[in-house]
Structure 1
Amino acid sequence: MQAYNEESQMPRSSDSKPGIGTFSASKIAKLELLTAKELNSEGQNFDYPSNIWSDEDNDKELETIDRDRSEDDAATGRPYWDNKIEYLLAQVGFSVGLSSIWRFPYECLHGGGGSFLLIYVLMLLFVEVPLLLLEMAVGQRMRQGSIGVWKTISPWIGGVGCTSFMACCIVGLYYSALIAWSLFYLSQSFQSPLPWALCPFESNSSNFDPECARTKPTTYFWYQQVLKATDKIEIGGLPVMHLGVSLFVTWLLSCISMVKGLQSARKVRALYSVEVWRRAGNQLFLATGSGFGSFTAISSYMPRSNNCVMDAFAVALLNLVTSVMVTVFVFAIMGHLATQLNEECYLKNAERAMNLVTAGLLPPTLQLPDSGRHDVSSSYPAWLSRLPERVRGELLPHLSNCDLSEQLEQVIAAPRVAIVAFTNVASVFSGSPLWAIIIFMFLVTMGLSTMIGILQGILTPLQDTSSSLRKHPELLTVAVCVLMFLGSLGFATPSGSYYVSLLDDYWAPLSLLCILILENVAMAWIYGARRFLADLIIILGRPISPIYRWLWCFVSPFVLLVLLASTLIHLHLTPIAYLAWNSSTSSEMLRRYPSWAKVLLSVLIGITLLPVPACSFYTLLDMCFLDSRMHSRSTIIFKPEAEEEAPKHCPRLHVGKSPKKMNKKT
């Protein structure tokens, strides 16, 4: 892979804008040597004197610093992205995944529509962007995965990286099932008519399958042909053959992409209600992917001087634009389906009225005129409103309530609505197989790009923690993909989709909120937001707005803690449930998860968060019994070499020195 020259990326002075020029080495050293008291005193204003931004002094010292940094990177043998475009496509590809399509339209409808969208945008700008910047900047500067990054910042919080690693593993298991579903739909798209467009016939009969006849062909195909769904989560079974094959292909493609290297990750592509805020927050963090450590892993292959502030904004805004565009498309299709269901409801009511008239229970004047059947959506409500109040009162108990909003709620009853929407749109247009191939190829591509990001969040920390694993990256990738494939087979069983719902609806929001709170508090309050902001100014060579300090210290932790509390209260007050298929009535129904599913959920959350106290306890033991070893770890991060005469100061974010350079100094 072509190296991305970090030295050439260092910012140079600007004649027109002296306030954004590069630092000289001596000025950088002065800024680095601020004491912990100066950096953390609340009374100090974070506005540096103008001479800090000057570029008068010694450029030779700055070049020496750059050369030392490049030598450190060369010693680790870590590759770079070939160019910035590939890097951004990898970050966006991971962030803009199936969650933006799978869940966003559902959450938007049930979360208040415009209120949900406004809250989503506000939290995106004031919470998610600072968190993205935090993860990208740390990975980019320290050039390590999640485990190594947080261990280096402080051994006490090293478990945060392990927690992100565990979350990546669990999400990778069930996320591959989403891709497998799309892959199976893609494989079924090469035929005409499409298999979900019509109900199948009964064996040895010319009649349609009665289970399909009682519902929509697309819904029947989803539950009975794709998932082979059982009526309850308690009913198990072996993995469904075609889903197992789709899972194998999913992991095979992911493995091949990872083995080929970094280049394979590119891809083109009610305001006051606590419930609305909870839905918007959970969807935001699930959709963008913060907390998994993948942003940190991908950023670790970029030069340290890369402008990660703009990257964070770009990823967040592209994710938002994609989610909104998909939502508009899904709502248009679902609105069309709801209108069709409403017209069918009108026709059924008209038939019931005619049957009642035929039976002599109602006078003939109550029958809907034949001319009204051609435009039932407008003629039926007008006919019903013209009836006398007494007659209408006698008729209404015999009729169904045909409400367009209720029909819309029915067709958007679960996050799987996107799949049904895409199958419907492929069936409506002429040349439906071609449209189906394009649509599901798009979904598979989006899913695989996110899966590559998830794998990056798994493989990079493993390689950073062991030099032997770095020697055989291909073997490590194959081994991880094989293990993940075997683990994901559980989601290919007839009840596997119910386990996907359990993890995606309940485990993921809780775990991600806990991880993000730990990351935020660790950087803002343990390491120090003021110091971290100063470090970013040094490595980027340009000023950064002090508002990020206040967002990291106060806004983000407060919002995250409120979301966590509201999620826990919601779980306590509302029984956890899932949308299941009822084969006897050919309809969906809400079922409660059994008690053992709640235990499983608690165990998974506990396993995910266990590394945090475990690593802290290990560090405590290490301090008690191996004090000399701990003393050798008190190294410095985010700091260029200063003069030997420089006074001692509080340690900062450390980049490890190569053994060669350490020997030279001794």
Structure 2
Amino acid sequence: MSHQDSSAPTGSLDSQGTTNAGYSSSTVPMIAQRDSRDSWNKKMDFLLSVIGFAVDLGNVWRFPYICYQNGGGAFLIPYILMAVFGGVPLFYMELALGQFHRTGAISIWKHICPIFKGIGFAICIISLYVSFYYNTIIAWALYYFYSSFTSTLPWTSCDNVWNTPNCTNYFGTNNVSWDNYSHSPAEEFYTRNVLEIHKSSGLRGVGGLRWQLVLCLFLIFTIVYFSLWKGVKTSGKVVWVTATLPYVVLFILLIRGATLPGAWRGVVFYLKPKWEKLLETRVWVDAAAQIFFSLGPGFGVLLALASYNPFTNNCYRDAIVTSLVNCMTSFLSGFVIFTVLGYMAEMRNVEVEDVAKDKGPSLLFITYPEAIANMVGSTFFAIIFFMMVIALGLDSTFGGLEAIITAVMDEYPQYLFKRRELFVLGLVIVCFMGSLSTLTHGGAYVVQLLETFGAGCSIIAVVFLEAIAVSWFYGIQRFSNDVKAMLGFAPGIFWKVCWVAISPAFLAYIIVSSLLDRHPLILFDYKYPDWSITVGFIVGASSFIWIPVYMVYKLVWTPGSLKQRLAVCMRPERTMREPHTDSLSMTPVP
């Protein structure tokens, strides 16, 4: 990478004293990066990393469920609108920010609006909470993957030691008597063998550790460590497998699902529009939340991954391409899921709606495995399905932890720049230890609590403030000039309007609706007690609280009157490169 590509160009001065990027020569923040900063080996390494992060387990389990719950084919209208006016602009904004400033989620704020630096710390804490439960779900998939290497899948029959008298097998049996107490073999395998949740009395008594799951999680984190320890040079190679394998498996499962009897019933149920649903506010909220969590702005991952790009990389095209790939993957996953649900409905002689009630992990670990178990070649399809689930999960884990690694290392380079391997090892150990509560007999209850509160409204509020800070405090014109300096053209009026008004309104809409429309938290007939909901809100607040805490800290320790302090804290700092060195010197913008 040339010197010009490795730092933001300051431009030449014209007769009015302005740079070719459109700034005043006395106010342009001269961004400097370390010449020794890592960079992607290939452009495809970056694209696959971004796609791998954005395309995660939620594309397989969340989108199909939300789609049929909210009007089938009619749901695509609010989904597309929310993507165009909310999700994609935020996605583009983060890629551009990361690429221009070439730094992580913490130190980037000294170049944008220093008083908002707490956003970076909040992002890191949220990513840490996500790692505590998300990798446990991958460990469950690894347990299933190992259990699939048998001639007869263990969740096929009710003849196993973990089964109860209530176990009832739909398939291969005539005149099955099914009541409210009946459980399928797949359900009992998941709850009584994988989780052993029956040995827990709830959050007050989660029970002991499941050593099998501890071992699975240890293997997962081992893979994660050796994928991340050397930086994007190693993770960029790993994603060639983990980001492409799910698409191969999805197409295999789609072809197999389309040939199953009753598959058409599932597809019709999936796509049949219910236009009256568009009048319900909940549908639009779900569409906004789905596209936001699917694309993943606000987690610091896009900032981190883009920061290793060449300065002139076309991040605009990258944002459009990767967003389209992500949304199309969600849509394709719906066909993969619902062809199988249609087959299950055909075999049970019931409506598709009756077999499409499961959501979240239950769809991956009960409904779909049950259908696979009764296909010809069930062992093969189980192996590749759970291989796909593991790959989808690993990609997102790589992104989430890289966001923390890049943010912290860029903030404290004097301590960590030459100690990346040790820092990554320490981070992985912290994540493993933090996950232990999710590996108990009642670990599924902890997973649900962390998923609901650890990265729910907190991350939406964080990215809302991020959009406000960039568009209103840093300035939309200054940000547009940054993009022009990189790409040679400025963003159009559509993008500017989205960044200034529509995207923040989109996020505020999700936050308010989520806070006003709270539902009881229930898992496997266990209703979460009120104290656990309070704990959940404390967990959510523990990340967001760093934003106002840092604001107060910054104002207190900045010299001058209150007006002077506010002016300094909201103004980007100037970063100067010392000649012939990689060191940075910081001076405030005059």
Q: How do residues 59-98 of structure 1 correspond to structure 2 at under 5 angstroms?
A: 72-75=32-35, 77-98=36-57
Match of 1:642 in 2: none
The Cα of 1:119 is off from its aligned counterpart by 1.3
C-alpha distance in structure 2 between counterparts of 1:605 and 1:314, whole Å? 32
Match of 2:521 in 1: 577
- Residue identity in the other structure for 2:411: T
Provide the alpha-carbon RMSD of the alignment.
Answer: 3.3
The question of whether the paired residues in 2 share the 8 Å contact of 1:144 and 1:297 is answered with yes
Match of 2:184 in 1: 216
**159 and 656 in structure 1: CA distance in 2 versus 1, 3 angstrom threshold:** farther
The Cα of 1:422 is off from its aligned counterpart by 3.4
Aligned residue among 454, 459, 480 for 2:427: 480
Query: C-alpha offsets along residues 571-604 of structure 1, whole Å, 9 cap, x if unaligned?
Result: 2xx3x22221xxxxxxxx3x43101211111111
**35 and 317 in structure 1: CA distance in 2 versus 1, 3 angstrom threshold:** same
Aligned residue among 256, 261, 266 for 2:231: 261
The Cα of 1:122 is off from its aligned counterpart by 1.3
Query: C-alpha offsets along residues 470-490 of structure 1, whole Å, 9 cap, x if unaligned?
Result: 121001111110111011111
Identity of matched residues, %: 29
Match of 2:418 in 1: 471
Match of 2:216 in 1: 246
SS of 1:271 mapped into structure 2? helix
C-alpha distance in structure 1 between counterparts of 2:144 and 2:369, whole Å? 9
1:183 is the counterpart of 2:136: no
The Cα of 1:201 is off from its aligned counterpart by 3.8
Match of 1:299 in 2: 306
Q: How do residues 519-538 of structure 1 correspond to structure 2 at under 5 angstroms?
A: 519-538=466-485
1:117 is the counterpart of 2:85: no
The question of whether the paired residues in 2 share the 8 Å contact of 1:9 and 1:305 is answered with no
The question of whether the paired residues in 2 share the 8 Å contact of 1:156 and 1:615 is answered with yes
1:657 is the counterpart of 2:577: yes
- Residue identity in the other structure for 1:619: K
The question of whether the paired residues in 1 share the 8 Å contact of 2:55 and 2:329 is answered with yes
**332 and 614 in structure 1: CA distance in 2 versus 1, 3 angstrom threshold:** same
The Cα of 1:6 is off from its aligned counterpart by 7.0
C-alpha distance in structure 1 between counterparts of 2:399 and 2:584, whole Å? 37
**527 and 621 in structure 1: CA distance in 2 versus 1, 3 angstrom threshold:** same
- Residue identity in the other structure for 1:435: F
Query: C-alpha offsets along residues 210-263 of structure 1, whole Å, 9 cap, x if unaligned?
Result: 142332111111111111113644431112111111111111110011114313
SS of 1:146 mapped into structure 2? coil
**658 and 119 in structure 1: CA distance in 2 versus 1, 3 angstrom threshold:** farther
- Residue identity in the other structure for 1:433: T
C-alpha distance in structure 2 between counterparts of 1:256 and 1:659, whole Å? 36
1:599 is the counterpart of 2:570: no
SS of 2:523 mapped into structure 1? strand
Match of 2:196 in 1: 228
SS of 2:522 mapped into structure 1? strand
Aligned residue among 364, 378, 382 for 1:436: 382
Aligned residue among 366, 381, 399 for 1:453: 399
1:134 is the counterpart of 2:54: no
The question of whether the paired residues in 2 share the 8 Å contact of 1:80 and 1:303 is answered with yes
Unaligned runs of 5+ in 2: 169-181, 245-276
**306 and 10 in structure 1: CA distance in 2 versus 1, 3 angstrom threshold:** farther
C-alpha distance in structure 1 between counterparts of 2:523 and 2:584, whole Å? 64
C-alpha distance in structure 1 between counterparts of 2:425 and 2:335, whole Å? 39
Match of 1:29 in 2: 19
The question of whether the paired residues in 2 share the 8 Å contact of 1:578 and 1:593 is answered with yes
The Cα of 1:624 is off from its aligned counterpart by 4.0
The question of whether the paired residues in 2 share the 8 Å contact of 1:176 and 1:451 is answered with yes
1:323 is the counterpart of 2:294: no
C-alpha distance in structure 1 between counterparts of 2:368 and 2:353, whole Å? 21
C-alpha distance in structure 1 between counterparts of 2:105 and 2:46, whole Å? 18
SS of 1:416 mapped into structure 2? helix
Unaligned runs of 5+ in 1: 12-22, 40-67, 344-403, 581-588, 636-650
SS of 1:239 mapped into structure 2? coil
C-alpha distance in structure 1 between counterparts of 2:211 and 2:493, whole Å? 56
Match of 1:340 in 2: 347
- Residue identity in the other structure for 1:177: T
- Residue identity in the other structure for 2:578: S
Bigger Rg, which one: 1
Query: C-alpha offsets along residues 424-470 of structure 1, whole Å, 9 cap, x if unaligned?
Result: 34323322222221111111111111111011011111111212111
**578 and 631 in structure 1: CA distance in 2 versus 1, 3 angstrom threshold:** closer
The question of whether the paired residues in 2 share the 8 Å contact of 1:282 and 1:509 is answered with no
C-alpha distance in structure 2 between counterparts of 1:469 and 1:150, whole Å? 19
The question of whether the paired residues in 2 share the 8 Å contact of 1:102 and 1:417 is answered with yes
C-alpha distance in structure 1 between counterparts of 2:488 and 2:144, whole Å? 50
C-alpha distance in structure 2 between counterparts of 1:80 and 1:413, whole Å? 39
C-alpha distance in structure 1 between counterparts of 2:584 and 2:453, whole Å? 52
1:164 is the counterpart of 2:123: yes
Match of 2:546 in 1: 611
Structure 1-normalised TM-score?
Answer: 0.73
Aligned residue among 92, 102, 105 for 2:64: 105
- Residue identity in the other structure for 1:29: T
C-alpha distance in structure 2 between counterparts of 1:438 and 1:293, whole Å? 31
**151 and 102 in structure 1: CA distance in 2 versus 1, 3 angstrom threshold:** farther
Relative contact order higher in (CA < 8 Å, ≥ 6 apart):
2
- Residue identity in the other structure for 1:614: V
The question of whether the paired residues in 2 share the 8 Å contact of 1:233 and 1:498 is answered with yes
The question of whether the paired residues in 1 share the 8 Å contact of 2:153 and 2:378 is answered with yes
Match of 1:309 in 2: 316
The Cα of 1:660 is off from its aligned counterpart by 4.9
Query: C-alpha offsets along residues 36-90 of structure 1, whole Å, 9 cap, x if unaligned?
Result: 99x9xxxxxxxxxxxxxxxxxxxxxxxxxxxx98xx5444x21110111111011
The Cα of 1:5 is off from its aligned counterpart by 4.8
**341 and 414 in structure 1: CA distance in 2 versus 1, 3 angstrom threshold:** farther
- Residue identity in the other structure for 2:558: M
Aligned residue among 173, 196, 204 for 2:132: 173
The Cα of 1:540 is off from its aligned counterpart by 1.7
- Residue identity in the other structure for 2:523: L
**626 and 419 in structure 1: CA distance in 2 versus 1, 3 angstrom threshold:** farther
The Cα of 1:111 is off from its aligned counterpart by 2.5
1:509 is the counterpart of 2:499: no
C-alpha distance in structure 1 between counterparts of 2:484 and 2:161, whole Å? 70
The Cα of 1:521 is off from its aligned counterpart by 0.4
- Residue identity in the other structure for 1:125: V
